[in-house]
Amino acid sequence: MTTSAADARFMARALQLARRGLYTTDPNPRVGCVIVKDGKIVGEGWHERAGEPHAEINALNQAGKMNTHSAGVYLTLEPCCHEGRTPACAPALIKAGVKRVVAAMRDPNPLVAGKGFKQLEGHGIQVAVGLMEAEAEALNPGFISRMKRGRPYVRVKLAASLDGRTGMANGDSKWITSEAARADVQKWRARSSAILTGVSTVLADDPALTVRDFKTGRQPLRVVLDSRLSMSPRARMLRGEGKTLVVTAGEDVALAEALKKAGAEVAHISTPQKSVDLTALLKHLAWLEVNEVLVEAGATLCGALLRQGLVDELVLYYAPHIMGNNERGMFALPPLLRMSDRINMEVTDVRAVGRDWRVIARVSEKQD
């Protein structure tokens, strides 16, 4: 079924509504819905928080029964057809008597994955899929990744000088970037399901790794890679709001129990070499319904993730400094002997943040 300029206008509004849930819907996807009758919007809604009504239900409630019969519905994601924390939405649209549903994309969740559309079509409702699909996918990279790849979307955040140095050789790194850049990082934390760091960062900086200045109603899960369980039970992040998961390859029961008593959860995810298995870790996080992971760590962990092909996106803040070639770099990687060994990136956004520059780049699917 073809779509029109009016369809595009209403879908753009649905996408705008979906963005309102950017920081609050986790682990559910961000979804917007617009109901139109006689060319006018009669109902709008978005999914605000997991466990609360979905976008379709909110829009139907706003429209009222009189306005939904023979109406058109614009959705950023296929309506669900299974009952989870809330009732299914496809039956609600059928019951409301809508005539047409335009959806930006199919739901990647195997429990839905086209079944919602089939339910609608089985009751004589016209369905069009694919309008502004790329924009809808950009709203939910983590949910899509978890459903299709069985792992979260991994975003690495780093702050560096113009020559790519993240700290002095002695470990001093506060503060490379400006207050404006640090405030911008809070937005990435707020939309993330989990923040991943290494124990070296915890021992050196004792960070809280919490979201500040954002009312999200939740704190991301803090995940610490600690192969030998050297994290202190008095670490700052164990005293803050939210949960901390310590992932280890060590088997010292006493150390694990001390961390548990301090409030941490401890998981043993090991390789035969007695290091943390990063691929298995991401699968475990997906099992915990983690959609987006923000990595705030040093060169060793960032380099290992990049080298193993587990990084999807980089968020790099460059400060107007030169620090020299003896200071700490961004990624610990083995020597590259050929230009073809480079990891290619695709820059998707460059902008000023205060006096610094923020560069967003995705790992390119086409490698040399």
pTM for the full model? 0.91
pLDDT tens for 150-198 read 999 999 999 998 888 887 666 655 778 899 999 999 999 999 999 999 9
Fold held by 5-143: Cytidine Deaminase; domain 2 (3.40.140)
Q: Using alpha carbons, select from 32, 46, 211 the residue that is nearest to residue 104.
A: 32
139 sits in which H/E element: helix 133-139
| Rg of the chain on CA atoms, in Å | 23
Q: Using CA atoms, how far apart are residues 101 and 92, in angstroms rounded to an integer? A: 13
Confidence of residue 368 (pLDDT cuts 50, 70, 90): low
Q: Using CA atoms, how far apart are residues 305 and 292, in angstroms rounded to an integer? A: 15
Q: Using CA atoms, how far apart are residues 20 and 32, in angstroms rounded to an integer? A: 9
Query: Any idea which of 226-235, 252-261, 324-333, 350-359 has the lowest mean pLDDT?
Result: 324-333
**Mean per-residue pLDDT of the chain:** 90
Q: Is 304 annotated as a binding residue?
A: yes
Cis peptide preceding 175, ω within 30 of 0:
yes
Catalytic site residues?
A: 56
Residue with more model confidence, 107 or 216: 107
Q: What pLDDT score was predicted for residue 99? A: 94
Query: Any idea which of 162-171, 242-251, 317-326 has the lowest mean pLDDT?
Result: 162-171
CATH 3.40.140.10 residue spans of the chain? 5-143
CATH 3.40.430.10 residue spans of the chain? 150-363
Q: Using CA atoms, how far apart are residues 244 and 96, in angstroms rounded to an integer? A: 44
Q: Is 296 annotated as a binding residue?
A: yes
Confidence of residue 307 (pLDDT cuts 50, 70, 90): very high
pLDDT tens for 109-125 read 988 888 889 999 999 99
State the architecture of 150-363 in CATH terms: 3-Layer(aba) Sandwich (3.40)
Sole residue written with tokens 């006096």: 355
- The predicted model gives 194-216 an average pLDDT of 89
For 119, the 3-state DSSP assignment is helix
Q: Per-residue pLDDT for 1 more than 60?
A: no
Q: Is 221 annotated as a binding residue?
A: no
Q: Is 47 annotated as a binding residue?
A: no
